[in-house]
Amino acid sequence: MDTDAGDWRQIESETEDVQIDEYDLTTSPNDFNVLTIYNFINSGSVIIPGFQRNYVWDRKRASRLIESLIIGLPVPQVFLYEEDRNKFLVIDGQQRLMTVYYFMSGRFPRRDKRSELRRLFDEYGQIPDGVLHDDAYFEAFNLQLPESGQGIPNKFNKLNYQTLGDHKMQFEMRTIRNMIVKQLRPSGDTSSVYEMFNRLNTGGVNLTPQEIRSSLFHSRFYDNLYQWNMDPRWRELLGQEHPDLHMRDIEVMLRAFAMARSVDTYAPSMVKFLNRFSKEAQREGPEAIDEFGSDLDWFLSKATDIPRSAWLTKQQKFLVNLFESVFAAAVRSRAEGTLIRLDAGAISQVRESEDYIKHSQERTTDTENVKGRYRAAYGALTQ
């Protein structure tokens, strides 16, 4: 009986009735000039997490922003979250800030290299000089501006940062309003940033929960998640050769790790549960991270002997709740020395058990349903 929630690509559509927390925030406007913004980004003070989103603007749109700054037209404000003294996380405005950064660097990213550049920026806080001057990754950032309605060429067309002439200093001194947000209460809980990402992001495409989460909780653990997500055995299990652009495959893996570590203390919502786990993972050292990787490697080595159909509905959709329950039960019972089997028969037994079916009908992220599915999986693997 196929009772589980559907395909892993649809996990962000799960609706949860969640009471939004109340926050005590301070918001202060700061008008930083363009040169200051460039220096902030170049020094790593302004953090634009690479996995927040690819740079998606084309050169025409980027050129219009630069032109607006040169001639003094207002541009939309930017929202920054103050993580620490002189450390700011971009909430909204990444495309605008990166456009300024790229223009003043004199380079514009090639479209087919943006995913890789996203990773490099997240790792180094800037684009390494060797990459920035590599024509395989970048082309010259010469402004691409249309003629006027009367066919008169735009005087800034084809100029770059170094050839702006008298307009260069004028451009550097133009200001962009930056709204600096700092959370005062509750302390030790950055969930307000999550809500702001959801509500303020103006990029035109809504970010998935995992895209937001990856931006907020960037860490060594997440760096490893991205690497593990490329494992051919994992890609085969999910049935998709390439990583998902919206990081939903990352969320499936994250859910499995979180359940294996903390299913006993699970409480809804799933979003908050994964946020808490991600925050805790920021403190994990190399040994603990290696243990996560070892558990995944072991599980995938076993999964290669299990027909992929064992994880699928009749409609060939991957059962996320089944996978996370079995993964957690397998990893934990193996550590306890109680694991008896992990094969197609065991997976089938889980799916057909009364306990699993009962807890897979509706409100699948309620505490009792999550723990009930885990109990069903643990029982099947240890008997």
Which pLDDT score is estimated for 353?
96
The mean pLDDT of 261-288, rounded to a whole number, is 95
The mean pLDDT of 116-124, rounded to a whole number, is 81
Which pLDDT score is estimated for 195?
73
Which pLDDT score is estimated for 89?
86
Residue ranges of domains in the chain: 8-15+205-382, 24-185
The mean pLDDT value of the chain amounts to: 89
- Sorted by sequence, the CB contacts under 8 Å of residue 53 that are 6+ apart come out as 94, 118, 203, 207, 211
Identity (one letter) of the amino acid at 128?
P
Give the best-scoring range by mean pLDDT among 18-27, 40-49, 123-132, 366-375: 366-375
Q: Between 62 and 2, whose confidence is greater?
A: 62
pLDDT in tens, 234-251: 999 999 998 988 899 999
> Which ranges of the chain would DSSP assign to H, the alpha helix?
34-43, 59-71, 94-105, 114-124, 129-132, 167-173, 191-200, 209-216, 220-228, 232-238, 248-262, 270-281, 286-303, 320-336, 344-352, 354-358, 367-382
Distances (CA, A) of 378 to 268, 336, 358: 21, 12, 16
- pLDDT tier for residue 367 given thresholds of 50, 70 and 90: very high
Q: Is the pTM of this model over 0.75?
A: no
- Sorted by sequence, the CB contacts under 8 Å of residue 174 that are 6+ apart come out as 33, 34, 69, 70, 72
